[in-house]
Amino acid sequence: MANIRFNALKELNTRTFKTPTPPAAAISEYFGELSFGLDKMKTALAPETFKKVEENIRKGKKIDKEMADAIAVAAKSWAMSKGITHYTHWFQPLTGGTAEKHDAFFNPQKGIEEFKGSALIQQEPDASSFPNGGIRSTFEARGYTAWDPSSPMFIMGGTLCIPTIFISYTGEALDNKSPLLRAMEAVDKASVKVCKLFDRNVSRVTASLGCEQEYFVIDRALFKARPDLVMSNRTLFGHSPARGQQLDDHYFGSIPTRVYNFMREFEIECLRLGIPVSTRHNEVAPSQFEVAPIFEEINVANDHNQLMMDVMDRVAAKHDLAVLFHEKPFAGLNGTGKHNNWSLITDTGVNLFQPRTSARENLLFLTFFVNTIKAVYDNADLLRASIASAGNDHRLGANEAPPAIISVFIGSQLTAVLDELEKNGNVQVEKGENLYMKLGIDKIPSIILDNTDRNRTSPFAFTGNKFEFRAVGGQANVGVPMSVLNLIVADQLNKFTSDVEKETKKGTEKRLAIINVLRSYIKDSKSVRFEGDGYSDEWVKEAEKRGLSNVKDTPRALDAYLTDEVVKMYERNDVLTKVEIEARHEILLENYVMNIQIESRVMGDLVNNHIIPTAIAYQNKLLTNAKGLAEIGVDNSGVKRTIEELSRFINEAKKGVDNMLEERKRLNKIEDLREKAIGYCDDVKMKYFDDIRYAVDKLELIVDDEDWPLVKYREMLFLR
């Protein structure tokens, strides 16, 4: 029988470099050529219509039927001029990833190409197969997609794609985009109110996001030869290579040519779609890389991140590569995250997280800064829940990964400023600019930018003019954590406004009222701030002393969604209703169970059908050898020991897999989803995965390399 591993390895010799031919033009000439944004609408629409459309999009207002008709006609002609015949509503169901349903422009009754505003605005996908957490079955059995005009349409795969939300007929959100849009609105309103304490001219605040996306790249044939990678996106077995990331020589080293060609090509594709990809480099682990687009308005940034992952997937195939976004595809190596750089920017052009040179402006900065820290402190469990997934559990709280503790890093300069502000008890009597000086906020030095980027172990770090939420997983739809972040900040800012009002009603001068409220927040939220090594064991102990949570697994982390306070917060900010939250919670638990179930089954298959047969065949060879040696009276103790070891690990793997199967059978009878998910976590994953893997990885070291069926780590990871 042919060994799948060697067949795959043989394919490597046939690889050729596929150098992309970049468009002859400068980037500026093809950037966004496949995206139907405001620039294109401007040339295609009548000036008055465009003015209205542009204003409504900018202000987040509704696009009416008339405008939609005009836009539909313009979009159709533009798409047809590029040879496009079909359109689709493009949405982000709760399973993760994206979904589409294609329709032709062609109307066979009329015999013409047609695209109406109504088709742009709304579509009814045959969506019964998308998860809904019981919503649509209790209400109506259908859902529909509705156009999101704030994110540009684009052409991909020969189709005009229209970014949409996906909701049930009764209006419940069934996707990841809807709550993000609602949270953006909440943070906009709340921020504007706070800004008005400082500057009456602010009328809109938008949240921005720059996503740094990490990923692994391996040869496609090797990927296909690993059933675990194909089925569960991560390797369930595999011994660490002799040379892992200990040497750190991969970081910022030169990029292998095949990967470089792949990067150039997907970057060009992204740029044509209007995704502003900019930096590319190697990451810490071998075969790990990163791409970071320039930040955009958060909803567009999320769409672009989803789109970029699709593009990368497709382009990788062309280069005989496979790209992996899983949070921990390889044990013992760095995991894969998606750093979410987030800030709030006013329509007057001020980044609210940018420290300024004048004291008054710095009070505005400090207001947003301190409120964000307070929001993170008060809602650490919800933030943790927002990044919970079976994949991310391997990054957060696993043996080699950062802990699942949510803390905030702000750097020594700002720590000093906050300490000063907190300590100084006599601000009431201080007046004028002296006050700021005394508080140390008159000049927050501009070196902050260089000074705050040092700590790479913090899950939530201030990096000079933005916060960076680093605990987000590589496969995540960032609409989830970003809707939570914007929600909690919105809610906190509303509290702040009312706390300040309470003070001023008592007769306190506005500026002092602001400072007093901030001081109380600084005190309250102090324990969430941590400047040290977030990956150290000391921090885990210290955090426990401070009373910070460290929830290690998804099923338990998800509980945070259902607490009374959280549900109320979602409802009072109009982000999600209780029904919607419960539906989401259920779907997330279902996803979790499915994930572990699949991994567990794949483990069983691999052990029973690949590993054990191979180990036994090898053992039989040794047996013949041992008997032969004994016959001629030669010492066979070495061979015997190997035979014994093989038996031991074969038995261990077999026992683990059998017992795990029994456990699954027991758990599958459990109705309650939470209980089932916890069972899958504790009694399947935690109880068996590591032990089975240990036995299999030992066998890998013992069995003849010529016989081993699974592509080895060293073969996958050192791509040339």
Q: Indicate the SS3 state at residue 34.
A: coil
Instruction: Please identify, using beta-carbon distances, which residue of 302 and 591 lies nearer to ligand ADP.
Output: 302
Q: How far is the CB of 466 from ligand ADP (least distance, A)?
A: 4
**Sequence-distant (≥ 6) Cβ neighbours of residue 410 within 8 angstroms:** 369, 373, 418, 452, 461, 462, 529, 531
CA 509, 512, 515 angle in degrees (round to 5)? Answer: 150
* Binding of residue 319 to Mg ion (CB under 5 A): no
Q: State the minimum distance, in angstroms, from the CB of residue 453 to Mg ion.
A: 8
- Stretch 339-358 residues interacting with Mg ion (CB under 5 A): 339
Q: What Å distances lie between residue 489 and 46, 79, 379, 484, CA to CA?
A: 39, 40, 10, 9
Closest CA to 473 of 311, 576, 588: 588
> Whose Cβ is closer to ligand ADP: residue 40's or residue 454's?
454
3-state secondary structure 652-702: HHHHHHHHHHHHHHHHHCCCCHHHHHHHHHHHHHHHHHHHHHHHHHHHHHH
Collapsing DSSP to helix, strand or coil, 572 comes out as helix
Structural tokens at position 114: 């047609």
Q: Out of 25, 27, 46, 294, point to the residue binding ligand ADP (CB under 6 A).
A: 294
Task: Rank residues 344 and 677 by Cβ distance to ligand ADP and give the closer one.
Answer: 344
The answer to whether 172 and 583 have CB atoms below 8 angstroms apart is yes
Cβ–Cβ contacts within 10 Å for residue 506, how many? 8
What is the pattern of x (binds ligand ADP, CB under 6 A) and - over residues 327-366? Answer: ------------x-xxx-------x---------------
Binding partner of 351, given ligand ADP, Mg ion, none, CB within 5-8 angstroms per partner class: ligand ADP
Shortest Cβ distance from residue 385 to ligand ADP (Å)? 23
Give alpha helix (H) positions in 149-288. 177-195, 220-224, 227-232, 257-272
Parallel/antiparallel/unpaired status of strands 86-91 and 159-168? parallel
549 contacts 384 by C-beta, under 8 angstroms = yes
Contact pattern for ligand ADP over residues 65 through 84, marking x by CB under 6 A: --------------------
Rounded Cα distance, 132 and 492, in Å: 30
- Cα-Cα end-to-end distance for the chain: 29
In the region spanning residues 211 to 270, those forming contacts with Mg ion, defined by CB under 5 A, are 212
Q: Please report how close the Cβ of residue 211 comes to Mg ion at its closest, in angstroms.
A: 10
Residue 107 interacting partner from Mg ion, ligand ADP, none (CB closer than 5 to 8 Å by kind):
none
The two tokens of residue 346 are 């006013």
Residue window 211-240: x/- pattern of binding to ligand ADP, with contact defined by CB under 6 A: -x----------------------------
- Mask: binding to Mg ion, 191-220, rule CB under 5 A, as x and -? ---------------------x--------
Nearer to ligand ADP, 67 or 485 (CB): 485
49, 240, 465, 625: which one contacts ligand ADP (CB under 6 A)? 465
Minimum gap (Å) between residue 295 Cβ and ligand ADP: 3
36 φ/ψ angles, rounded to the nearest 5 degrees:
-100, 80
CB of 271 to Mg ion, least distance (A): 21
- CB neighbours of 466 closer than 8 A, spacing ≥ 6? 208, 210, 295, 341, 342, 343, 351, 353
Closest Cα to residue 91, out of 122, 53, 135? 122
Site size toward ligand ADP, by CB under 6 A = 17
For ligand ADP, the binding residues in 181-210 under the rule CB under 6 A are 208-210
Classify the phi-psi angles of 589: left when phi > 0, otherwise alpha if psi is within -120 to 50, otherwise beta: alpha
The residue number with the shortest CB distance to ligand ADP is 210
Of Mg ion, ligand ADP, none, which one does residue 210 interact with (CB within 5 to 8 Å by kind)?
ligand ADP
Q: Is 338 in the site for Mg ion (CB under 5 A)?
A: no
Toward Mg ion, which CB reaches closer, 339 or 394? Answer: 339
- Scanning 242-250, 333-341, 487-495, 551-559 for contacts with Mg ion by CB under 5 A, the matching segment is 333-341
> Which chain residues interact with ligand ADP by CB under 6 A?
208-210, 212, 279, 292-295, 339, 341-343, 351, 453, 465-466
> Which chain residues interact with Mg ion by CB under 5 A?
212, 339
